Amino acid sequence: MNRKRRQNALGRAEHRTRNGARAAILEAVRRARPRAAPLPLVAGVQDTAGDAELVARFMASAQAASATVRMVEAGSVEAAVREAFPGAASIASATPAWSFEQANPADEASALARLDVLVCPGAFGVAENGAVWLAESGMGSRAAPFLAQHLVLALDRSAIVPDMHAACDRLKTFGEGYGAFVAGPSKTADIEQTLVIGAHGPRSLTVLLT
């Protein structure tokens, strides 16, 4: 019994020591915590879409994200796509606005992955980060923009908003249940610190500003 009492006493002492160490660590973390800072005020959403400065900012942000941005006439999207991808064996579109092959929502993923170029209409762009909102109705298939080898987004330059505050305000008017902000081709350097383009999506993103 004496041995068991000693073991119990040692166990209780070890438990108190662990609790004391834990409390000391947590107290040190609390003391080192920086003071709380108030969130910045957002003085309303100023949607100045179409401004020439916004277009320039959008182009700079998109190019910084490794996207290719070109200014084209509204009626020359098809010609610009064929010029940019002269060797493409298959070019599809999610909308009948262009005479490309129509992307079929029922296509299997393997068929979409063999698609060289997918052309989609962008709903609006964000100058802050170069992203384009791609609504589900412009995709043809939810998987298509992520499985095609190259993605082209045609975007009306008058539909560029300054930042994500204005972008979220724009989203309130969309009645679709799905969409995505698309910016630049996918990139990863997880493997041997070697940059790989298109590891998780298209190998390139081209934005045609009309």
Indicate the pTM of the whole model. 0.73
Return d(Cα 8, Cα 4) in angstroms, integer: 6
Residue 41 has pLDDT above 80, yes or no: no
Confidence of residue 58 (pLDDT cuts 50, 70, 90): very high
| pLDDT single digits (tens) 98-117 | 888 877 666 677 777 788 99
Q: Are residues 32 and 65 in the same domain?
A: no
Confidence of residue 57 (pLDDT cuts 50, 70, 90): very high
Q: In this structure, which amino acid lies at residue 178?
A: Y
- Structural tokens at position 190: 């997880």
Indicate the DSSP class of residue 98.
S
Q: What is the pLDDT of residue 154?
A: 94
Q: What is the pLDDT of residue 195?
A: 78
Q: Are residues 101 and 203 in the same domain?
A: yes
Confidence of residue 12 (pLDDT cuts 50, 70, 90): low
Q: Which domain, by its residues, includes 87?
A: 52-209
Q: What is the mean pLDDT of residues 2-9?
A: 62
148: left (phi over 0), alpha (psi -120 to 50) or beta: beta
- Structural tokens at position 5: 């009492």
Q: Are residues 68 and 25 in the same domain?
A: no
CB of 153 closer than 8 Å to CB of 145 = no
Q: Are residues 76 and 150 in the same domain?
A: yes
Residue 150 has pLDDT above 80, yes or no: yes
Residue 47 has pLDDT above 60, yes or no: no
**Sheet with 91-93: strands ordered across:** 68-71, 204-209, 150-155, 117-121, 91-93, 101-102
- Give the DSSP H/E element, type plus range, for residue 132: strand 131-135
How many domains does the chain fold into? 2
HSE, side-chain direction, 13 A CA sphere, residue 54: 21
Q: Are residues 127 and 194 in the same domain?
A: yes
Q: What is the mean pLDDT of residues 90-98?
A: 84
Q: Which of 19-23, 31-35, 44-48, 148-152 has the highest mean pLDDT?
A: 148-152
Q: How far apart are the first and last CA of the chain?
A: 89
Q: What is the pLDDT of residue 88?
A: 86
The CB density around residue 187, as the number of other CB atoms within 10 Å, is: 14
- Structural tokens at position 116: 């060289």
The H helix count followed by the E strand count for the chain is 6, 12
Q: Tell me, yes or no, whether 25 lies in a domain.
A: yes
Q: Tell me, yes or no, whether 200 lies in a domain.
A: yes
Indicate the DSSP class of residue 26.
H
Contacts of residue 202, Cβ cutoff 8 Å, sequence gap at least 6:
118, 145, 146, 148, 149, 150, 151, 185, 186
Which CATH number covers residue 92? 3.40.50.10420
Q: What are phi and psi of 27, to 5 degrees?
A: -65, -40
Residue 71 has pLDDT above 70, yes or no: yes
Q: Are residues 3 and 74 in the same domain?
A: no
Residue 50 has pLDDT above 70, yes or no: no
Confidence of residue 13 (pLDDT cuts 50, 70, 90): low
